[in-house]
A and B are shown apart, each in its own frame.
Chain A
Amino acid sequence: MATTEEIRTQLADIVNDVAGVDQTDVQLDKNFVDDLDVDSLSMVEIIYACEEAFGVSIPDEDAKDLKTVGDAVSYIERAQA
C-alpha cells in the first residue's frame, strides 16, 4: 500500500508534467483551480494520468468533486484499499 505521502509525491509529478506546476506547490491543502491554476482541460489529463499511474478508476461524476490535492489523494487511497 502506498502511503499518503507517496501518493502525493507521485501526483505532484503528474501535475508538474501536465500543467507545469512546481512539485513542491502540490500540497494537500491546495485547490487545483484556485491555488495551482490548473484549468479544466489539464484536470482531464491529470485524472486520466492518475487512473493509469495508480490503477484506479475515477468516473467523471467523482472527478468533478476532486477540488483539492487532498481530495484526490484520499480518493486514490480509498480506491486502492
Chain B
Amino acid sequence: MRIMSATIKASQGAPYSRIYGVGGERGNRVVDNAEMCTIIDSSDEWIQQRTGIVERRWATEDQTPLSMALAASRKAIERSGIDPAQIDAVLVATGSHTRQFPSLAVSVAAGLGLKDPAATDLSAACAGFCYGLSLADSMVRTGTAKNVLIVGVEILTRQTDFTDRGTAFLFGDGAGAVVVGPSETPGIGPVVWGSDGESADVIWSDDWNEAFASGKKPVIHMEGNKVFRWATTFIAEKTAEALEAAGLKPEELDVFIPHQANNRITDSMLRRMHLPESVVISRDIRQMGNSSAASIPIAMEALLESGDAKSGDTALVIGFGAGLVYAGQVVVLP
C-alpha cells in the first residue's frame, strides 16, 4: 500500500513578461459623420459632442476577422523580433467570429504558419484584449508558454443595427496584436479585473438562434446612459486601482489608453482620476470608432507611430464592456 501519493512536477517560467511588438490593421473604408448621417438621422455635431468620433473605419467586403487578425499579427511579430517558431500560444479576443468552433485562434495560427501552438479564443467583449494580456503574462511566468500572440479583432459593423441611431455610428472595424514574451524586468503589471453578470442586459448581442428564427440578423444593443454611468464611476475606480496595483503614482505614468468606447467616458475618467497633464491620453476613437477588443492595441500602435508615446513608456490600459466585464493593467510599451 502506498503511503504518499507521488509528487507531480509543476512548470516554471520567466521571472517577468513584457510586450515585444504591437501591430494594427484598420478597416479599409473611411466613413465620416456626413456619410453616417445619410444612414441615420443624426448630425456631425451631435455625434462628435457625445462620442468624439469624427470618422470610423469599416471593413470592406474582402476583409474578414481572419484577414485582419493575420495582418495585425504579422506586423506585431515582425516588430517583436521574435522568431515565429518560438510563439507557442495564440489567444484571440473577439466577438466577431461567426462560428463556435473551430476557433479563430487556430486559423490565425495556421495562417501564420505556427507549428502546434496552444490556441483559443477569448470571449470578453471590449475587455478581451486586456484579459488576454493578463493570461499571457501568467502563462509566460508559469512556463506554460514561452511567447504568446494576443489578437483583438472585431468587425462589429456586421452586427450593427443601422436603424438604431443610438449605436449605428459608434463602431469601427479592425485588429490589433501584440507578442508577449519573457523578460528580466516587469513589463506587465498586476491585472485588476472582474465581471457582473447581473448587468448582462446593459450591452448585449441578440441570441443568434432567436434572431435567425425570426429572419433577422443578430445585432448589438446598448443602454448608453447605463454604460456611461458604470464606466465613469466603477470603471474609473478600477482604473485607478490598476495603477496602484503596479505601484505607480499618477505622476509616474506616461500614457493612458482606455478602451476607445467614447471620448466622453475618457474625459469623465480623467476628471475623477486626476492624472497629471503630462500623461499622454489616447483619443484614437476620433478616427476609428469603437472597435471593441481591438481598440487598445490599435490605439497603442498609433501612439507609438505618431511619436506621442515611445518604447519603454509606462501605459495604463483598461478594457470594459458587455458582460459586464473589465480588465486593466499597467504595461511597458514595446
Q: Please indicate whether A and B come from the same complex rather than being unrelated chains.
A: yes
Chain A residues within CB distance 8 Å of chain B? 17-18, 39-41, 44-45, 48, 60
- Cα separation A44 to B229 with both chains bound (whole Å): 6
Chain B residues within CB distance 8 Å of chain A? 49-50, 224-226, 228-229, 232-233, 264, 268, 271
- The 6 A-B residue pairs with the shortest CB-CB distance, nearest first, are A44-B229, A41-B264, A44-B225, A44-B228, A41-B228, A45-B268
Q: Nearest chain-B residue to A43 (Cβ)? A: B225
Chain A residues contacting B232 (CB-CB under 8 Å) are: 44-45, 48
Q: Output the least CB separation between A19 and chain B (Å).
A: 11
Contact indicator A41/B50 (Cβ below 8 Å): yes
Contact indicator B49/A48 (Cβ below 8 Å): no
- Cα separation A48 to B271 with both chains bound (whole Å): 13
- Cα separation A44 to B268 with both chains bound (whole Å): 11
Q: Which of B50, B233, B264 contacts A48 (CB 8 A)?
A: B233
In the complex with contacts A17-B271, A45-B268, A39-B50 CB distance below 8 A: yes
Chain B residues contacting A39 (CB-CB under 8 Å) are: 49-50
Contact indicator A40/B225 (Cβ below 8 Å): yes
Q: Output the least CB separation between B173 and chain A (Å).
A: 24
- Cα separation A40 to B281 with both chains bound (whole Å): 24
Q: Nearest chain-B residue to A17 (Cβ)? A: B271
- Cα separation A28 to B180 with both chains bound (whole Å): 56
- Cα separation A45 to B225 with both chains bound (whole Å): 10
Of the A-B pairs whose beta carbons lie under 8 Å apart in the complex, a sample of 18, sorted by A's number, is A17-B271, A18-B268, A18-B271, A40-B224, A40-B225, A41-B50, A41-B224, A41-B225, A41-B228, A41-B264, A44-B228, A44-B229, A45-B232, A45-B268, A48-B229, A48-B232, A48-B233, A60-B225
- Cα separation A18 to B268 with both chains bound (whole Å): 8
- Cα separation A18 to B232 with both chains bound (whole Å): 12
- Cα separation A45 to B49 with both chains bound (whole Å): 15
- Cα separation A17 to B268 with both chains bound (whole Å): 10
Known: A18-B271, A41-B224, A60-B225. 8 other contacts (CB 8 A): A17-B271, A39-B49, A40-B224, A41-B264, A44-B228, A44-B232, A45-B228, A60-B226
